[in-house]
Amino acid sequence: MGFADIIGQQKPLAVLRAAFASGRLHHAYLFLGPEGVGKHTVAVAYAKAIHCSELTNDFCEGCVNCHRIADGNHPDVRVIEPLSGKKEISIAQVRELERELNYRSFTGKRKIAIIDPATLLNSSSQNALLKTLEEPPQDSLIILIAANTGALLPTLRSRCLRLSFAPLARKEVAGYLQLRHGVGSADAEFVAALGMGSIGAALSLEKDDLIEKRRQWTAMLGSLKIKDYHGAMIAAEALARNRDEALKFLKWAASWYRDLLIHAIDNNSDELVNLDMREQIAQQSADGGVEEKLRAFSQSAGAAARIQRNLNRRMVLEKFLFGVVGGR
């Protein structure tokens, strides 16, 4: 295990490794990109590469330093997150961090802080951190991790070298799921596609359950004919029983209607999310109008947002499925 085994993210890794090679590490980085695409993994890998006692400019995962960093108990490497039960990273945590960064490294290398997610620093914590970034303690390295910059002070951002992390390619996520989690190739492709370039999202989908649910949902949508409002009402009632399931259904439904629309244009496309269900896609794609499919595709995200805001689930799902059976 080393840099070469990290999935994707070749651009930010190239920048970090070049800094190693030239011996010129920045004292502060901002890792920016969607959830679950490897920002934290790369930050921890970088800390390991700095401290690894076996390899130079890479990490072995086997030495005592690599182990301690992986276990979160290396004296020179701190991961800062909200304390349990808290929603923010407090100013006390930032002051404590500043104190620690000012001590000499235990190993004669760098003192490293990974702040994840940096968006949970409140404004006074950010101001306290800004002082540290303006006068960085010798041999310190701070990595801020964030999905977006909205919550971060511009002055704080400008003190960091920004590295962008892109969503992963479907092939990369599917390969990872097969290799590390023993997922079969067709299932891995589907779960990866639904995860939209995020390993974190793909892993949270609970594959087996999702694949069984998908079978039920596909059958349910296939049985809803144009103007079958009664069928739509019954289906909405069933889906509404569980909030989590309702949200998963709507997320999947977007992928399903997208697939039906793509298939209608190109019946050989390999861009389908539900690539292993080509037969059902062909059937349902021929059923009903393009208008209903387009409506279902475009309304699924809005419906999910309304459920997340705790609006009445049955009514939200009913409206969505009425759109599906809408007809003229």
Q: What are phi and psi of 4, to 5 degrees?
A: -65, -20
| 1 binds Zn ion, rule: CB under 5 A | no
Among 60, 130, 166, 294, binds Zn ion (CB under 5 A): 60
Place of tokens 């070049």: 18
Other beta carbons within 10 Å of 75: 12
Q: What is the DSSP letter of 73?
A: -
Could you give the angle at which helices 10-22 and 39-51 cross, rounded to 10 degrees?
20
Alpha-carbon span 328 to 320, nearest angstrom: 16
Among 28, 52, 114, 133, binds Zn ion (CB under 5 A): 52
Among 43, 49, 50, 66, binds Zn ion (CB under 5 A): 66
What is the per-residue binding string for Zn ion in 24-43, x denoting contact by CB under 5 A?
A: --------------------
CB closer to Zn ion out of 1 and 301: 1
Among 15, 63, 161, 211, binds Zn ion (CB under 5 A): 63
Listed ranges 22-30, 60-68, 233-241, 297-305: which one lies at the site for Zn ion (CB under 5 A): 60-68
| 77 binds Zn ion, rule: CB under 5 A | no
Q: How far is the CB of 40 from Zn ion (least distance, A)?
A: 18
Listed ranges 54-62, 118-126, 189-197, 319-327: which one lies at the site for Zn ion (CB under 5 A): 54-62
Q: Which one-letter amino acid corresponds to residue 313?
A: R
Listed ranges 13-21, 44-52, 114-122, 208-216: which one lies at the site for Zn ion (CB under 5 A): 44-52
CB closer to Zn ion out of 77 and 303: 77
CB closer to Zn ion out of 6 and 60: 60
Alpha-carbon span 72 to 277, nearest angstrom: 43
Residues 224-283 that bind Zn ion (CB under 5 A): none
Q: How far is the CB of 44 from Zn ion (least distance, A)?
A: 12
Number of residues that this document lists for the chain: 328
DSSP of 108-127: SS-EEEEETTGGGB-HHHHH
Q: How far is the CB of 140 from Zn ion (least distance, A)?
A: 21
Q: Which long-range contacts (CB under 8 A, 24 or more apart) does 298-304 make?
A: 299/323, 300/250, 300/251, 300/253, 300/254, 300/257, 301/250, 301/254, 303/250, 304/247, 304/250, 304/251
DSSP of 262-326: HHHH-TT-S--TTGGGHHHHHHHHHSS-HHHHHHHHHHHHHHHHHHHTT--HHHHHHHHHHHHH-
CB closer to Zn ion out of 7 and 69: 69
Q: Which residues, other chains included, contact 13 with Cβ-Cβ below 8 Å and sequence gap of 6+? A: 3, 6, 42
Listed ranges 46-54, 103-111, 148-156, 207-215: which one lies at the site for Zn ion (CB under 5 A): 46-54
Among 1, 10, 18, 54, binds Zn ion (CB under 5 A): 54
Contact in structure between 45 and 177 (CB atoms under 8 Å): no
Q: How far is the CB of 46 from Zn ion (least distance, A)?
A: 13
Q: How many residues bind Zn ion (CB under 5 A)?
A: 6
User: Where does this chain bind Zn ion (CB under 5 A)?
Assistant: 52, 54, 59-60, 63, 66
